[in-house]
């Protein structure tokens, strides 16, 4: 059966990821990636969140960065020592997820009955607005300074044989695997089926008794919640909420290109896409820039700075994938198929 095969894909992908730190430990320092990997895996979680809205239900969501930001700031406010709340790590991450879900539902409430294209604009606008609001409410969010310092969970601060980066790596990988596993299950339930049906044919789905507005609202909220959890993890990993412009449109587009390169609607695809796109962005380009600055004599040509190419890379990835392989590298399950 095809379904089992896809489950194998996911298991294989997670299995490879699980041995990365072990392989890493025998490599020379210049080639080690484990310390750089936690953000990549966190973005894979954003990718899974976006998959729920765009991949499964077919809503073009261009504002995931806003929900990542909401998660990061919620986490920062309720844990940072500059504010009186200081709740435990796990509670804070879950709370960030809940706040994200609530905001997602709030945005969805007035807009879910709109045409699909209009929704793209509303989410795009929302992504901009959240940055503005975070910047303007500087009494709460500390403006461009960001809220810091933030701590990690107790698990990562243990005195254990593994390095902090490795422990972070496995923590995020565990969360990612858990979310992927639960999503896999949800997709095989009536709830998940109604999401896929809505993507296939909204009118037919509503004639079958799927309430389109309510279903879209639910997927939107779940998607926002996952992104917010990812945001909380990111803030905790970086030790700071960062500044509002860290969560700009580019982040949303990166998330979109992740799920598209991996395969819209495919769970292992979203993870693979995240590894490829974020990996290129924050690992390959960074290492390339390091290397170039070592060999070149410091001429400041724009074309020679690898980080100046990232828009081009995301853009080309989207255009070329759409043109030649719009189903992505790991297309989603086509159920049945004997």
Partner 1 sequence: MNATEVLTQQLIIGLSNGMIIALIALGYTMVYGLVELINFAHGDLFMLGGFCALTILGGLGLAPLPSASEIGSLSWWASFVLLFTLVPCFCGALNWLIDRLAYRPLRNAPRLVPLVSALGVSFILLNVGLFWGGLPMQAFDMGVSAASPKDFPQLVSNTNLLGESSFIVFSPKDLLVISATLSLLLVLVLVVTRTQFGRAMRAVAQNPVAARLVGIDVDRIISLTFVLGGALAGVASIIYALYNNTVFFQMGYRVGIDAFTAAVLGGIGNLVGSVIGGILIGLIRAMSDQYISTEWTNTIVFMLLIGVLVFRPAGLLGRATKEKV
Partner 2 sequence: MTVTSNAAPLLALRNVTVQFGGLTAAHDVTLDVTDGQIAAVIGPNGAGKTTVFNCVTGIYAPSSGTIEVRGRDIREPLTWLVLGKSLGIGCIFGLALMLGVNAQILWDASINQLYVYEQQFDWAAAGAAFVSTLRSQDSSLTWGIFIFGSLLAAAGSFTMWQRTRHTPYTAVHRKIARTFQNIRLFRSMSALENVLMGMQSVHRSHVVPALLRTKHFAQQERIRREEARELLDFVGLSDVEHTLASALPYGSQRRLEIARALASKPNLILLDEPAAGMNPSEMAALTALIAKIRDRGTTVLLIEHHMKLVMGISDHITVLEYGEKIAEGPPDAVKQDPKVIAAYLGDTHNDH
Residue 87 contacts partner 2 per CB under 8 A: no
Residues whose CB falls within 8 Å of the CB of residue 24, separated by 6 or more in sequence, listed in order: 32, 33, 34
| Positions that interact with partner 1 (CB under 8 A) | 54, 58, 60, 62, 110-111, 113-118, 120-122, 124-126, 128-129, 132-133, 135-136, 203, 249, 253, 256-257, 260, 264, 301-303, 308-312, 314-323, 326
CB of 32 to partner 1, least distance (A): 30
28 near partner 2 (CB under 8 A): no
Q: Per rule CB under 8 A, is residue 206 in the interface with partner 2?
A: yes
Q: CB–CB of 268/330 below 8 Å?
A: yes
* Shortest CB 11 distance to partner 2, Å: 17
CB of 302 to partner 1, least distance (A): 3
Q: Which of 34, 51, 79, 194 binds partner 2 (CB under 8 A)?
A: 194
3-state secondary structure of 57: coil
Residue 121 to residue 202: CA distance in whole angstroms: 20
The interface partner of residue 82, options being partner 2, partner 1, none and the CB cut-off 5 to 8 Å by kind, is partner 2
Residue with tokens 């995931």: 64
Q: How far apart are CA 182 and CA 212, in angstroms?
A: 23
Lookup: tokens for 59: 């809503």
132 counts as binding partner 2 under rule CB under 8 A: no
Distance of alpha carbon 137 from the chain centroid: 25
* Alpha carbons 107 and 102: distance in angstroms, whole number: 9
Strands (DSSP E) contained in 72-197 are none
Closer CB to partner 2, 195 or 247, in the complex: 195
Instruction: Tell me if the bond preceding 92 is cis, omega within 30° of 0.
Output: no
4-12, 151-159, 162-170, 187-195 -> range binding partner 2 (CB under 8 A): 187-195
DSSP tally for the chain: helices H, then strands E: 15, 0
User: Closest distance between partner 1 and the C-beta of residue 135, in Å?
Assistant: 7
The contact set with partner 2 (CB under 8 A) reads: 81-84, 109-110, 113, 137-140, 182, 185-186, 189-194, 196-197, 200-201, 203-213, 332, 334-338
């Amino acid at each position: 059966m095809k379904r089992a095969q896809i489950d194998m894909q996911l298991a294989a992908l997670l299995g490879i990821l699980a041995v990365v730190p072990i392989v890493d430990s025998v490599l020379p320092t210049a080639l080690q990636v484990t310390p750089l990997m936690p953000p990549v895996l966190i973005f894979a979680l954003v990718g899974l969140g976006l998959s729920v809205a765009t991949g499964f239900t077919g809503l073009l969501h261009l504002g995931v960065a806003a929900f990542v930001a909401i998660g990061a700031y919620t986490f920062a406010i309720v844990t940072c020592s500059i504010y009186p709340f200081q709740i435990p790590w796990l509670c804070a991450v879950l709370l960030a997820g809940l706040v994200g879900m609530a905001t997602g539902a709030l945005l969805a409430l007035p807009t879910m009955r709109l045409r699909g294209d209009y929704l793209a604009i509303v989410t795009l606008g929302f992504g901009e607005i959240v940055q503005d609001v975070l910047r303007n409410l500087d009494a709460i969010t500390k403006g461009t300074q960001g809220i810091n310092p933030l701590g990690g969970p107790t698990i990562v601060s243990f005195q254990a044989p593994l390095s902090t980066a490795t422990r972070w790596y496995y923590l995020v990988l565990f969360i990612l695997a858990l979310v992927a596993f639960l999503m896999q299950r949800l997709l095989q339930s009536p709830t998940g089926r109604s999401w896929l049906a809505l993507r296939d044919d909204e009118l037919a789905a509503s004639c079958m008794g799927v309430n389109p507005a309510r279903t879209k609202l639910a997927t939107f909220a779940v998607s926002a919640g996952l992104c917010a959890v990812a945001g909380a993890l990111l803030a905790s990993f970086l030790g700071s909420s960062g500044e509002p412009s860290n969560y700009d449109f580019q982040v949303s587009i990166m998330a979109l290109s992740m799920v598209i390169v991996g395969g819209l609607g495919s769970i292992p695809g979203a993870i693979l896409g995240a590894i490829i796109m974020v990996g290129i962005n924050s690992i390959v380009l960074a290492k390339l820039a390091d290397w170039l600055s070592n060999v070149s004599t410091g001429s400041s040509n724009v074309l020679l700075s690898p980080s100046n190419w990232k828009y081009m890379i995301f853009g080309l990835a989207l255009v070329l994938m759409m043109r030649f392989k719009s189903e992505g590298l790991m297309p989603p399950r086509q159920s049945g198929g004997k």
